[in-house]
Structure 1
């Protein structure tokens, strides 16, 4: 048997059953009494069963009407709960945000900002997924993604946060006498960290461009900045390190910069999110928070990237 009736009619019937009166139910629903009476009658017609006994003074549920009411009312209570939760998403700073970010940038740069955000908004929770692989952010139901370099996430809005430069580093006791230009790096012991397998270098003064792809005498391949840094410090070879991680180590004498007049062209870091308008309030808070942290002023941005302030 195919049933064909309106959910609104079910809701109107439940209101009459709750109030025990068409008149009171019509006031509560803010609809004309005649419309309410007609819609409940239509529901009974569609179900081919009497739900209410009516007389001039009162309304009573039939036996079938009582069973129908008891089964229907929880459905509308659940729908109301869902509506309240959705409204809270739009107005309250609470709930979970799922985030995707690269491992190294996430640990060394983003983590301090996430922690500051959580301290400011105690009812918001972050579910952070770190990976150097390009995951399917739609498939993983990611709310906000951070990407270094170009991204191919169609229909996602990208907000630029900062630029990252990479510099060549070696152990503090490295003999750099023979290293005058990127061409001299050929065959030099090297530690390679994915995905930066090709070093696109630019001279700080002249703007000259050179590309170096380590191919000979690669002593170690890794996909983690910490492993890369440790290997370089231990003299395994030279490596290409992001400046936000390298500069504090260079300043403290733990690393030595190789060819300091050369660094890579800047790689942009972007924050991606799906919808500018219809988003939960917690997402808007995080987006605005991150933009402010990175864009307040150039000096603060530099200090934040190097971990000198939080």
Structure 2
């Protein structure tokens, strides 16, 4: 059995196993689905064991497949890291860079910085996924993620990138009608007016004058999973929104910033995270340094 061919077959098997899909493994590997199926079958024949249980609706691992994935997955990750580090020149990153970032901060700061980085390095292929979901990096094949802190996952390295100021805001119409013209609110009034949230059971973190932080639960009127749309809803007069100050400032006179007696909105800490057991390839390290400098 050809060593290089078997290694390629093993990579495809790991991709299918991690995504439970031949189609998804083919998409991420850049080869036809039929080729993935044939190569996995070739690996099974060479090993003399069935690795995957295939039905019309799903793909699952056999006991032998689970053992192979458990042993081969980390070895392939380490080999990929070694090869990446060996072939990349410090001044010219190349290969695929897969990054995930929060929707709003990703669109406003991270995406423009990464686009500029990619424009400077034509041998780099960039894939950026904006989502507020916590994506499993190794399983989904991401090199780098940007996440709001705190980061509790011991298997990830977390590097602080920015502190993002947040503020409260509402439309002039809402201020006039619902807030009776007041732009400085007390905690009780803030808790009684309609609020726009971006996640179920959303809370706003407020810092008191003594430095302590409290979780404040606003009165939800509308919830939308894209934070950019919470600002759009606030512009339409649907309630108070808590959002990055930079994004509120971009709305000009369409939104009025609100203050809170005795409290301020706690900033959000943004971290860059990556798997702790993986040596950071040059292209990932260079991209992260670029974002931190230019984002």
Aligned partners of 2:241 and 2:224: how far apart in 1?
11
Sort the Cα spacing of 1:183 and 1:97 in 2 relative to 1 into closer, same or farther, 3 A. same
| Matched residue SS, 1:138 | helix
Aligned partners of 1:264 and 1:195: how far apart in 2?
19
Unaligned segments of structure 1, at least 5 residues: 8-82, 295-310
Q: Please report the TM-score for the alignment, with normalisation by the length of structure 1.
A: 0.60
Structure-1 residue corresponding to 2:15 = none
Aligned partners of 1:191 and 1:264: how far apart in 2?
15
Structure-1 residue corresponding to 2:217 = 213
RMSD over aligned CA atoms reads: 2.9
Sort the Cα spacing of 1:84 and 1:199 in 2 relative to 1 into closer, same or farther, 3 A. closer
Aligned partners of 2:151 and 2:210: how far apart in 1?
30
Sort the Cα spacing of 1:123 and 1:190 in 2 relative to 1 into closer, same or farther, 3 A. same
Aligned partners of 1:271 and 1:285: how far apart in 2?
13
Aligned partners of 1:166 and 1:141: how far apart in 2?
31
Aligned partners of 2:294 and 2:167: how far apart in 1?
24
Unaligned segments of structure 2, at least 5 residues: 4-81
Sort the Cα spacing of 1:232 and 1:89 in 2 relative to 1 into closer, same or farther, 3 A. same
Whether contact under 8 Å (1:100, 1:131) holds in the other structure is yes
Say how many residue pairs are matched.
209
Sort the Cα spacing of 1:190 and 1:150 in 2 relative to 1 into closer, same or farther, 3 A. same
Structure-2 residue corresponding to 1:201 = 206
Aligned partners of 1:213 and 1:225: how far apart in 2?
17
Matches within 5 A, 1:171-190: 171-173=171-173, 174-175=175-176, 176-177=179-180, 180-190=185-195
Aligned partners of 2:84 and 2:167: how far apart in 1?
48
Matches within 5 A, 1:85-164: 87-89=86-88, 92-164=92-164
1:232 corresponds to 2:237: no
Sort the Cα spacing of 1:149 and 1:274 in 2 relative to 1 into closer, same or farther, 3 A. same
- Out of 186, 192, 196, the position equivalent to 2:197 is 192
Whether contact under 8 Å (1:167, 1:260) holds in the other structure is no
| Matched residue SS, 1:168 | strand
Matches within 5 A, 1:22-37: none
Aligned partners of 1:193 and 1:84: how far apart in 2?
41
Structure-2 residue corresponding to 1:273 = 274
Sort the Cα spacing of 1:90 and 1:111 in 2 relative to 1 into closer, same or farther, 3 A. same
The structure whose Rg is larger is: 1
User: Offset of 1:237 from its aligned partner?
Assistant: 1.0
User: Offset of 1:210 from its aligned partner?
Assistant: 4.9
Sort the Cα spacing of 1:145 and 1:223 in 2 relative to 1 into closer, same or farther, 3 A. same
Whether contact under 8 Å (1:166, 1:264) holds in the other structure is yes
Whether contact under 8 Å (2:187, 2:260) holds in the other structure is no
Structure-1 residue corresponding to 2:254 = 254
Matches within 5 A, 1:79-90: 87-89=86-88
| Matched residue SS, 2:283 | helix
Q: Please report the TM-score for the alignment, with normalisation by the length of structure 2.
A: 0.62
Aligned partners of 1:277 and 1:132: how far apart in 2?
24
User: Offset of 1:196 from its aligned partner?
Assistant: 7.8
User: Offset of 1:168 from its aligned partner?
Assistant: 1.0
Aligned partners of 2:212 and 2:289: how far apart in 1?
37
Sort the Cα spacing of 1:84 and 1:232 in 2 relative to 1 into closer, same or farther, 3 A. closer
Structure-2 residue corresponding to 1:76 = none
Sort the Cα spacing of 1:169 and 1:126 in 2 relative to 1 into closer, same or farther, 3 A. same
